[in-house]
Amino acid sequence: MNEIVRQVQSDHVQFIDLQFTDINGTIKSVTIPTARLQEAIDRGVWFDGSSIQGFARIQESDMFLMPDLATYRVLPWTSDERRRARLICDIKRPDGTPFEGDPRSALRRAISRCTTLGYAYNCGPELEFFLFKKNGDGPLAPVPHDVGGYFDFSPKDEAQSIRADIVRALEQMGMSVEASHHEVATGQHEIDFEYADALTAADNAVTFKYTVKAIAAAWGVYATFMPKPIFGINGSGMHTHQSLIDLKNGQNLFFDTDDPYKLSALAYAFIAGQLYHAKALSAVVAPTVNSYKRLTPGYEAPVYISWAQVNRSALIRIPRYSPGRDQSTRVELRFPDPSCNPYLAFAAMLYAGLDGIEKELPHVEPVNEDLYHFTTEDLKLRGIETLPGTLGSALDALEVDDVVLSALGDHIAEWYLRAKRAEWDEYRIQVSQWEIDRYLETL
Ligand code: GLU
Ligand code: MG
C-alpha cells in the first residue's frame, strides 16, 4: 500500500480533490473517494479535457491526471465528517507523455531548461488581496470589510482575527508564513510565505488563493485577488523575488561582493533579459483587462521599464543588501499581479531572464529617482520605456516575442492568445459609465 494511502487513512480523509489549473490559472478539480486513491496513484485518473479552457481540441479530449504525491495536504477548513485532502496533478496524454496544454508542464519544461544550464530557480511571490463585505444575497460590490457603516461589525479586531485564521490555515497547508500585515489601502492585506523552488512556489501561490478565499468565506466576507478593485487607491500586486542557485554547491549566483549593488554579472544579464521582454511578459504576469488599471503612476505599482535599488516605481527592485545576506540576494519583479497563472508567469519570467544570460544582453543602468515625476521628454532622453497601457497592447507585444511564446509552448501560446484576445475585445466594445458621464450630455 502506498504511504500516502496510509496517511489518508490516519488523517480520516474521505475525499481527495485532484487539482490542476486551466490556462487562466483557475483551479479545477476532480474529486475521488479515498477508496479510489491507490488506483489513481498507480494509473492516474482519466478525464475529458475538452471543456477546460485552453486544453484540448475535440480529438485530444482524452487525458489523465497523475497526482504529485509531494503535494498531499489535508484541507484544514473541511469538517471531520467530510474531511478532504488535495493532491496537485500533472496532466498526461494517453501515451504517458506530458500534455503540453498543462500550465504546470510548461513550468516543469522551463525548470528543466534551467537545470541543464546548472541553475535552480527560486521564487518568493507576495500576494496582496482585499477583504470585502458581502451584501446579503445581493450582487457583490467592492466594499472594504474594515469600513464602518455598510453593515455593522467591528473592523480592526475582525481583520486581525481573519488574518490570524488565514495564517493558521496556510501553516496547516504546509506553507511557512513569514509576515502578514495590513496593506496601504483600506481592506487590503498581504501575507508573505517562504520562497521555494519555482514549481513549489507556483503550487503555493495557487494554494494561497483558495485558502484565503475559503477562510474569508467562513468569516462571512469575501477575498479578491482582482488587481485593481477600486479606482483611486492601491491595487494588489504579486511582487516576486527571484534568484538563481548553483546546482553544484547551492550558492546564490546573483551575489557578488565587489559590485556596488552586490549583484553578479549573471544577475545583471537576468535583469536585462526581463527588462528586454517586459512588454510581452506583461501579457502573462498581468493578464487581465483590470491588470492595466493597476499599472498606473502613483499607486506603488510599476509603470516604467527600469530597475532600481529602492524605487517602488521601477519594474525591478533590488532589496537593499545588508552584511550576511549574500545567500538571500534577489531580484524583485514588481509588475506581476495575483490574477496571473503562476505556473505560466514563472515559466515566462524564467525564459526572459535566461534569454538575457544566453544572449549576454548588455548591462542596464539603474534609475534610482522616482520616475512618477519624470516628464515624457525626460523619459525619452533617458531611453526609459513604459509598460503596455492595456491588455490589448500587451498581447500585441506577446504575439511577436518568440522567447516568451516559447516559454508557454505552441499549444498554450495559441489558446492563450485566442482567449485573451477575446477577453480584450469583449471589454473594448463595452460602453462604460465613465463614457456616459463624460459624453452623453456634452456631445
Ligand atoms: N500594492 C502595490 C502594488 O500594486 C505594492 C505595495 C508594496 O510595495 O507592497 O504593487
Ligand atoms: Mg505589499
Answer yes or no: is 436 within a domain.
Answer: no
Determine the pLDDT at residue 149.
Answer: 37
Determine the pLDDT at residue 146.
Answer: 63
Determine the pLDDT at residue 55.
Answer: 67
* 99, 130, 159 - which closes a domain: 99
273 plus 338 within the same structural domain: yes
314 plus 376 within the same structural domain: yes
Determine the pLDDT at residue 143.
Answer: 72
Pocket of ligand 1 (CB under 6 A): 128, 183, 234-237, 294, 300-301, 312, 334
Instruction: State the distance from the centre of ligand 2 to the C-alpha of 188, rounded, in angstroms.
Output: 9
| CATH number for position 370 | 3.30.590.10
Query: Ligand 1 atom 5: the closest Cα is on which residue?
Result: 300
Catalytic, out of 17, 102, 146, 190: 190
Catalytic status, residue 334: yes
Answer yes or no: is 405 within a domain.
Answer: yes
pLDDT bin (cut points 50, 70, 90) of residue 94 is confident
Give the mutation target among 183, 225, 337 for probing the ligand 1 site: most ligand atoms within 8 A of CB. Answer: 183
91 plus 116 within the same structural domain: no
98-116 average pLDDT score: 96
267 plus 393 within the same structural domain: yes
290-304 average pLDDT score: 93
Instruction: State the distance from the centre of ligand 1 to the C-alpha of 239, rounded, in angstroms.
Output: 8
32 plus 178 within the same structural domain: no
pLDDT in tens, 356-369: 999 999 999 999 88
| CATH number for position 90 | 3.10.20.70
More confident residue, 53 or 267: 267
pLDDT bin (cut points 50, 70, 90) of residue 65 is very high
Q: How many domains does the chain contain in total?
A: 2
Query: Ligand 1 atom 8: the closest Cα is on which residue?
Result: 300
Determine the pLDDT at residue 368.
Answer: 85
Q: Which amino acid is at 396?
A: D
**HSE-CB of 79 using CA atoms within 13 angstroms:** 3
Nearest ligand 1 atom, CA 126: 9
88 plus 161 within the same structural domain: no
pLDDT at 57 > cutoff 60: no
Determine the pLDDT at residue 182.
Answer: 78
pLDDT in tens, 307-348: 998 777 789 999 887 877 788 899 999 999 999 999 999 999
pLDDT in tens, 204-258: 999 999 999 999 999 999 999 999 999 999 999 999 999 999 999 999 999 999 9
Give the mutation target among 180, 184, 188, 293 for probing the ligand 1 site: most ligand atoms within 8 A of CB. Answer: 184
Q: What's the domain range around 41?
A: 3-99
Determine the pLDDT at residue 63.
Answer: 86
Tell me how far apart the alpha carbons of residues 408 and 402 are, in angstroms, rounded to a whole number: 10
Question: Are residues 104 and 21 in contact, defined by beta-carbon separation less than 8 angstroms?
Answer: yes
Answer yes or no: is 265 within a domain.
Answer: yes
Catalytic status, residue 194: no
Answer yes or no: is 62 within a domain.
Answer: yes
Burial classification of residue 148, based on how many CB atoms lie within 10 Å of its CB (0-12 exposed, 13-18 middle, 19 or more buried): exposed
Provide CB contacts within 8 A for 138, sequence distance 6+: none
Catalytic, out of 332, 370, 385, 399: 332
Determine the pLDDT at residue 153.
Answer: 46
63 plus 185 within the same structural domain: no
* 71, 99, 127 - which closes a domain: 99
Answer yes or no: is 210 within a domain.
Answer: yes
pLDDT at 59 > cutoff 70: no
183 plus 318 within the same structural domain: yes
Catalytic status, residue 128: yes
220 plus 165 within the same structural domain: yes
290 plus 143 within the same structural domain: yes
* 45, 67, 99 - which closes a domain: 99
pLDDT in tens, 132-179: 887 777 777 777 766 543 333 455 667 888 999 999 999 999 999 988
Answer yes or no: is 427 within a domain.
Answer: no
Percent of the chain having pLDDT more than 70?
Answer: 95
Answer yes or no: is 434 within a domain.
Answer: no
92 plus 120 within the same structural domain: no
- Between the CA of residue 266 and those of 154, 349, 357, 359, 362, what are the distances in Å? 51, 15, 6, 11, 11
45 plus 120 within the same structural domain: no
Catalytic status, residue 43: no
Q: Mean pLDDT of all residues in the chain?
A: 91
Nearest ligand 1 atom, CA 188: 1
Determine the pLDDT at residue 155.
Answer: 56
Answer yes or no: is 23 within a domain.
Answer: yes
